[in-house]
Amino acid sequence: EIVLTQSPTTMTASPGEKVTITCRASSSVSYMHWYQQKPGASPKPWIYETSKLASGVPDRFSGSGSGTSYSLTINNMEAEDAATYYCQQWNYPSMLTFGSGTKLEIK
């Protein structure tokens, strides 16, 4: 099983700040996917196949990475971006794992 380690676990950012969340895989993966979840709501697809923004995601978000290191970046943090973000990978033969989540709060 590929273990995904997210960092930081929790962070606070000011409006307008640049935010980077990192996801490291215990073995190389082809793609990383990201979800946003707010309290009381189901996870929303946010970034898929490493760098593609899901429908409705603001373009201040971006994703990058390869191999064992991936990141989600927010340029110009906004209050609505406060949420928990999870990374997720799939590897052959058909095993999905999630990271432990990064809780992002607004100052």
Partner 1 sequence: EVQLQESGPGLVKPSQSLSLTCSVTGYSITSNYWGWIRKFPGNKMEWMGYISYSGSTSYNPSLKSRISITRDTSKNQFFLQLNSVTTEDTATYYCARSPSGSWFAYWGQGTLVTVSS
Least CB distance to partner 1 at residue 21 (A): 15
Joined together, the tokens standing for residue 87 give 């990374």
For the segment 17-76, give every residue that binds partner 1 (CB under 8 A).
31, 33, 35, 41-45, 48-49, 54
Least CB distance to partner 1 at residue 96 (A): 4
Query: Any idea which residue has 């191999």 for tokens?
Result: 67
Q: Is 45 left (phi over 0), alpha (psi -120 to 50) or beta?
A: beta
> Measuring CA to CA, how many Å separate 49 from each of 39, 59, 97?
25, 16, 15
Total binding residues toward partner 1, as defined by CB under 8 A: 24
Task: Give the three-class secondary structure for 33.
Answer: strand
Site string for partner 1, 77-96 (x = CB under 8 A): -------x-x-x-x--xxxx
The contact set with partner 1 (CB under 8 A) reads: 1, 31, 33, 35, 41-45, 48-49, 54, 84, 86, 88, 90, 93-98, 100-101
